[in-house]
Amino acid sequence: MLQGISLACVRGDRELFKDINFSLEAGGLMQVRGPNGSGKTSLLRMLCGLSNPAAGEILWNGASIRSLNGDYFAAMTYIGHLSGTKDDLTVIENLRISSALAGYEINDTQASEALGYMGLGGREVLPVKILSQGQRRRVALARLLVCKTSLWILDEPLVALDVLAVKLIRELLEQHLKQGGMVVMTTHQEIDLTATSTTQLHLA
Amino acid sequence: MFMWMIKRDLLLAMRRQSDVLTTLFFFIIVVSLFPLSVGPEMNMLRTMAPGVVWVAALLASMLSLGRMFSNDYLDGTLEQMLLSPQSLSFLVLGKALAHWLVTGVPLVLMAPVLGIQYDLPVEALFVLTAALLLGTPVLSLIGAIGAALTLGLRGGGVLVSLLVLPLYIPVLIFGAGAVEANMAGVGFDAHLSLIGAFLLVSLVFAPWAAASSLRVSLE
């Protein structure tokens, strides 16, 4: 269970948000909404432990994520604006290395399967630098298929994806939620997901 | 995961060989220019050899420090490293080790060949290689702290040299000192032991310090 208690974020001398409270149960989905510059990415970076909240606390199963550190990271996958892929490495190397660093070592067959599901079959040995934006996004998102973490924090996962890929991601998210996983995401696109509980968090 | 980190960085270095070769050629050029410009006076060349080789190694290692984390920072892989369940210090240690394998080891291998230009006796060449073998990993480890602290800053290159050079100086003094001591007929063990001590201390502290700096830089 992920909980946020009176979270606040300050950038320079501007207060982006304060008193954000939420609680996300297993199988729950939280959609963070708000205009550009309202602090969505800042909130997500806080939730995954990349930055500290100016005030408040984030709890994972009742313990502060600061104190959990590695144990929390092992249960969480964050995919941000930056794809986290290396241009000079091939698609399959990227997936294998990024999932190994996330604690899930996979072999070539598993990686090919995941890439095939993401519609990148036959492109495994191409260097990522020659792929399109949408394809890079697919490579990054393929990590969700191989890393069996329970909490997914996704920052604009649908950007640059085509209709077919959006459908794929929707299925993937719904399946994850059905299995008791948790998803925190921001998106400007409309996407309806069925989850046991859906929280909408509006940042002004 | 540690091995994956090294494997990844070596793979990247192989795909971008120009980066590796730049460092090595810089080292070769600097070391080779001195005998040409100073003239064929054997005694003088022999005395300056250890200093010149070490200064060149220092500058060559610093040349590549900027790239240590900046590429990973720009494409988001550094973010993912921070979120790895493996301790960040270990990953940084892996990166520093890969940096040494890519930039340090070629220098160590080239040094005895370049030393011949300075008419160094065979034993002194061995001492020079041994001192570089112990000292260059220290340069990569300490360099990692500087690279992590200046990550994402404009003009980081200059700042990195200001931060890191003072910490390099002890290695330079004892590294060059070992060869000089050997040529003077005095024992060089003490010098090598001291560089070994620097190596051990930096192995323990540098990854931790660099990891903390990375967390600050990425916040």
What ipTM was predicted for this assembly? 0.89
**Which of A133, A13, A12 is closest to A82 using CA atoms?**
A133
Which residues of chain B have a CB within 8 Å of the CB of A101?
Answer: 1, 4-5, 80-81, 84, 86, 91
Q: Give the structural domain span for B66.
A: 2-218
In the block, tokens 């998210």 appear at A173
Residues A168-187, mean pLDDT to the nearest whole number: 91
B61-80 mean pLDDT: 90
For the cut 80, the answer to whether the pLDDT of residue A204 exceeds it is: no
Yes or no: say if A114 and A145 are a contact pair by the CB < 8 Å rule.
yes
Does the CB of A42 have a partner CB in chain B at under 8 Å? no
What is residue A190's predicted lDDT score, i.e. its pLDDT? 76
Domain count within chain B: 1
The C-alpha atoms of residue A93 and residue B4 are separated, in whole angstroms, by: 11
**Mean pLDDT, chain A, whole residue set:** 89
Bridge-based pairing state of the strands A14-24 and A2-11: antiparallel
**What pLDDT was estimated at residue B187?**
87
Is the Cβ of B193 closer than 8 Å to some Cβ of chain A? no
Question: Per the CB < 8 Å rule, is A73 touching B84?
Answer: yes
pLDDT at B13: 92
Residue B66 has pLDDT above 90, yes or no: no
Which residue in the set B5, B8, B76 is minimally distant from A83, CB to CB?
Answer: B76
Cβ-Cβ contacts under 8 Å, B87 against chain A: 70
pLDDT of residue B122: 93
The verdict on a CB contact (< 8 Å) between B83 and A73 is yes
A93 CB neighbours in chain B (<8 A) are 11
- Give the range among B29-33, B63-67, B153-157, B188-192 with minimum mean pLDDT: B153-157
First to last CA, chain A: 25
- Cβ–Cβ contact A70 with B under 8 A: yes
Report the C-alpha gap between A112 and A96 in whole angstroms: 10
What is the reported pLDDT for A13? Answer: 86
> pLDDT confidence of A11, banded at 50, 70, 90?
confident
Of A52, A71, A84, the CB nearest to B75: A84
* Residue-wise pLDDT tens digits, A33-82: 988 888 899 999 999 989 989 999 999 998 998 888 888 999 999 999 88
Question: Interhelix angle for A163-178 vs A133-146, to 10°?
Answer: 20
Give CA angle at B122 (B51, B22), nearest 5°. Answer: 50
* Dihedral pair phi/psi, residue B110, rounded to 5°: -80, -25
In this structure, what token pair is assigned to residue B192? Answer: 């090598």
What stretches of chain A adopt beta strand conformation (E)?
Answer: 2-11, 14-24, 28-33, 55-60, 63-64, 76-79, 151-155, 182-186, 197-202
